[in-house]
Structure 1
Amino acid sequence: MTKQAGTLTDQNSTKARWLLLIGVILVGANLRVPITSVGALITFIREDLGISNASAGMITTLPLIAFALLSPFAPRIANKIGMEWTIALSLVLLITGMIVRSIAGIGYLFTGTIFVGLAIAIGNVLIPGIIKMSFPLKIGIMTGVYAVFMNIFGALGSGLSVPISSVGNMGWQGALNIWGIITIIALLIWLPQLRKHPDESPKANVEKDKKTNLWRSSIAWSVTLFMGGQSLAFYTLITWMPDILRTVGYNAGGAGWMVFLMQVALIPTTFVIPVIAEKMSNQIGLAVGTAVLFIIGFTGLMSGSMALVPVWAILLGIAGGSGFSLSMMFFTIRTKDGKEAAELSGMAQSFGYLLAAVGPVLVGVLHDRSNGWIMPLIFLIIISVVILAAGIVSGKEGTISDQSNKQISKEWIEEV
């Protein structure tokens, strides 16, 4: 009886871990596609609703603002009701937002878009904490798998939404809603996680939380700057790279394929980098390599060589994938537990996505003021230097808890 009971327990444990693994993958799959799908359909939405280009632009900007506003509070919500319940409720909010934004009317469109942004912000912040708590010996692999599926489905949202909209009477509303099927499946797979009971209550962590002050940690601020810098670079490229390439001889179609090539180069990098990073005592080399690739890519675009654009696109894609994956890894390997990982994730992603929302606008202003792309690209090279400096500090061995009582003023400068 004892042996049989032990076997059943092992089987149940294995099944539970597989359900959690699939759940994490499916939640990750929902963290990009609701945004990339609407970006691909924005022309149809604008024409159907009769809205201006500025209003249409808000459809992609609102989620980034929602990321910035909610990210710091997601860990607090999770501390109250648990990470599992918070993620489940975020999936419900995501489904609601996707339905609401497809109802005719600009008010519904913007309201639903805000719901979508808030829901995704929760998943962005909490998944690194879930990985650290549930897969402590496989953080690199799990981070890589989650990031790969997130970016694959993000690319599918960009590529398939327009063809889907032309099938029958689907239209842009049907094309947006069809991605909700993945969200519903993710919610159903995630439901077994709601039976879990946290090993430690929020009250039991009060004393430990008081000892760790993220806002006084040079590591926390360096990770935040690294996350912010790579987010700004990536979202600015997604927004402006087609226009930059047209000035060197590419037509709209060719420029689009170069952006696609950049995103293809990003996908394998998001898996490989976390696996490598986990095995290293420090990640300074990876962080420096990421920044250098950004600098080479931006400098290459500034050179105006049409023939070498595919090379620059690939290098920038590798840099973007490496920057994102390293950011996710820093959330886990620079913290002592899942709750602290979620706190750092919230801090870094709040600032990071705020920069990501401001970056494309600022680059557009620089382009208008200078009547060219040299000044905007110089600005992006400066951002790459910030990524380099922040990456050196973020990549050093140690955790936030190791220096929780230190001031950041002189220490950050000295460590760089």
Structure 2
Amino acid sequence: MATGGLTTTRAAVPGLLLAGVLLVALNLRGPLIAVAPVTGELRSDLAVGAGTVGLLTSIPVLLFGLAAPLASWVIARAGTHRAVLVSMLGVLAGTLLRSVGDVRTALAGTVVLGLAITVGNVVVPVVIGRDFPGVTHVVTAAYTSALNIGATLTTTLTAPLADLVGWRWALASWGLLVGVACLVWTAGLRRQAARAGEAPPPPPPAADVRPVWRQPAVWGLTLAFAAQAFSYYGVTAWLPTLLADEQGLTRSVAGVSSSLFQVFAVAGAFAVPALVAWWRRPSAVLLAVTAAWATLPVGLLAAPGLWPLWCALAGVAQGGGLTIVFIAIVARSRDLVENRRTSAMVQGGGYAVAATGPLVVGAAHDLSGGWTVPMLVVLGAIVVMAVAGGASAGGRPREGNAQA
């Protein structure tokens, strides 16, 4: 009976933690994207310009990079599971603070959101690597898919909510989803504590691990992630405008490109683990992802009329690109500490570069007067991702992380 009880507990814990991981992921992008559909109302109510409103989306991405070392410290002090709860409580506080008061309060809430999400960005891949052995790749795919689903939910539903209750309540209402994530995660902590009391202690961390900043592979992954994130944010910011200018599409029709870009990311996230299991070489999968990414700038330059196809392929690539980098981080980390530090360095450096994506792509358009140069800039970033990631993602994954 004791064995049966232990088996039941162990079977229940991953399921509850998986639900928690997915709910947390829904809240790691959605609250930021929620601002975009109500930009007009927000500008009018707060009496601010477009530049100030732009800070509500650019500040968090910058903090994703600059605050990653702070996030790593918080995780080390609080522990992985409690750090997730800290992240969600911070997201809740930032969401509510942003929805009340004047522009200063909105900016303060945005900073809190950025810091809290940074902790979540770093810690959730660590939790996945530790608590889902053998199915790490699949859970990573589900996590990255949930990031995009969260963004899609807020993009789709915030404007209708604002029509009913106003933009402040519409933004604040997403705090309900954060609250659900907190409840599920707290329940998961209790189950995990019960499991930890019955399970054998984890092995001690490896003593001979070099600092991550001295490992060339970690620098390569940082460059690959930076190129992936730079391309993602640059394309997300300007693709609808490009299509409106070049194809004569209305803004609303051009906005469909963003939907394709987000929805097809789910397919990419789940295709990558299958390819890793089949090919057994993460580096080869990463190169395949960059080839799909390249179809967007090349396709828009060579055959712009096929833009739905290029947007869909790039969507698959951006979802797959995020997944394969996270898989490589877990596969190359020998213990929890190295996983946390590698995740912090890769995401910190990557998001610091990503914050410049919309600015650089926009500046390239302004200076050149067209969209050829901006697309070549994106293509250059994809080449960097292929070279740096292909050399650093590794060959065969370790046995413990091989299953998909």
Answer whether TM exceeds 0.5 for this pair: yes
The counterpart of 1:137, out of the listed 134, 137, 141, is: 134
Question: Relative to 1, partners in 2 of residues 1:279 and 1:24: Cα closer, same or farther, differing over 3 Å?
Answer: farther
CA distance in 1, matches of 2:292, 2:267: 16
CA distance in 1, matches of 2:40, 2:357: 22
Residue correspondence of structure 1 range 296-375 to structure 2 within 5 A: 296-303=295-302, 305-375=303-373
| Conserved 8 A contact 2:144-2:319 | no
Give the CA deviation at 1:12: 2.5
1:117 corresponds in structure 2 to: 114
| Conserved 8 A contact 2:243-2:254 | yes
2:181 corresponds in structure 1 to: 186
| Conserved 8 A contact 2:75-2:119 | no
| Conserved 8 A contact 2:282-2:396 | no
Check if 1:177 corresponds to 2:176.
Answer: no
Give the CA deviation at 1:55: 0.3
| Conserved 8 A contact 1:132-1:337 | no
Q: Which amino acid aligns with 1:175?
A: A
In structure 2, stretches of 5+ residues that fail to align are 399-404
Give the CA deviation at 1:307: 2.3
CA distance in 1, matches of 2:156, 2:71: 31
| Conserved 8 A contact 2:62-2:355 | yes
2:42 corresponds in structure 1 to: 45
Q: TM-score, normalised by structure 2?
A: 0.91
| Conserved 8 A contact 2:272-2:324 | yes
1:24 corresponds in structure 2 to: 21
Give the CA deviation at 1:399: 8.6
Check if 1:94 corresponds to 2:97.
Answer: no
1:148 corresponds in structure 2 to: 145
Q: Please, which moves more after superposition, 370-379 or 219-228? A: 370-379
CA distance in 2, matches of 1:164, 1:15: 36
Give the CA deviation at 1:352: 1.1
The counterpart of 1:80, out of the listed 71, 74, 77, is: 77
Secondary structure of 1:314's partner? helix
Q: Please, which moves more after superposition, 84-93 or 65-74? A: 65-74
Secondary structure of 1:336's partner? coil
Spell out, residue by residue over 1:92-142, the C-alpha distance to the aligned partner (whole angstroms, 9 max, x if none): 111111111000200110010111111111111111111111111101111
Q: Which amino acid aligns with 1:252?
A: R
CA distance in 2, matches of 1:365, 1:85: 42
Question: Relative to 1, partners in 2 of residues 1:24 and 1:279: Cα closer, same or farther, differing over 3 Å?
Answer: farther
Q: Which amino acid aligns with 1:189?
A: V
The counterpart of 2:30, out of the listed 30, 33, 36, is: 33
| Conserved 8 A contact 1:334-1:398 | no
CA distance in 2, matches of 1:230, 1:246: 24
In structure 1, stretches of 5+ residues that fail to align are 401-416
2:4 corresponds in structure 1 to: 7
1:258 corresponds in structure 2 to: 257
CA distance in 2, matches of 1:349, 1:286: 20
1:403 corresponds in structure 2 to: none
Give the CA deviation at 1:371: 1.2
Residue correspondence of structure 1 range 272-311 to structure 2 within 5 A: 272-278=271-277, 280-303=279-302, 305-311=303-309
Give the CA deviation at 1:83: 0.7
Identity %: 29
Runs of 4+ in 1 over 6 A off after TM superposition: none
CA distance in 2, matches of 1:17, 1:211: 28
The number of residues matched between the two structures is 390
Give the CA deviation at 1:394: 2.2
CA distance in 2, matches of 1:280, 1:216: 29
| Conserved 8 A contact 1:332-1:338 | no
Q: TM-score, normalised by structure 1?
A: 0.89
Q: Which amino acid aligns with 1:190?
A: W
C-alpha root-mean-square deviation of aligned residues, in Å?
Answer: 2.0
Spell out, residue by residue over 1:309-355, the C-alpha distance to the aligned partner (whole angstroms, 9 max, x if none): 11111121122111111122112112112332221111111111111
CA distance in 2, matches of 1:42, 1:289: 37
